[in-house]
Structure formats: C-alpha cells, structure tokens
Amino acid sequence: MQTIGHGYRAISLLFVINWDRLLFPAAILAGLVTAAYIGSLGLF
C-alpha cells in the first residue's frame, strides 16, 4: 500500500511540475481545431 501511495505522489509531482508542457500543446490544438471549424463554415 505504501508503494502505491509513493507512486501516486510521484506522478502527482510530475504533473504539477510539467503542467505547462501539457497545457500549451492543448491550447495550440484547440486553436487549430477552432480555425479549421471556422474555415469550414466558409464565412471568410
């Protein structure tokens, strides 16, 4: 049980340290998807 707790804390720490590495590609992907949607509408 302690091993699971230590593993969870380690993964949590890695996520806290590297959250921006996940956020920036997600924001870029969201922007590309939004641009593709707007472009498919043919408004511009």
Instruction: Specify the pLDDT at position 24.
Output: 92
Instruction: Specify the pLDDT at position 10.
Output: 79
Give CB contacts under 8 A, 24+ apart, made by 22-30. none
Residue 42: strand, helix, or coil: coil
Instruction: Specify the pLDDT at position 29.
Output: 97
pLDDT digits (tens, 9 = 90+) for 13-33: 888 888 888 889 999 999 999
Instruction: Specify the pLDDT at position 21.
Output: 85
Cβ count near 33 (within 10 Å): 10
Does pTM top 0.75 for this prediction? no
CA–CA distance from 10 to each of 1, 24, 41 (Å)?
Answer: 14, 22, 45
Region of poorest pLDDT, from 1-5, 7-11, 38-42: 1-5
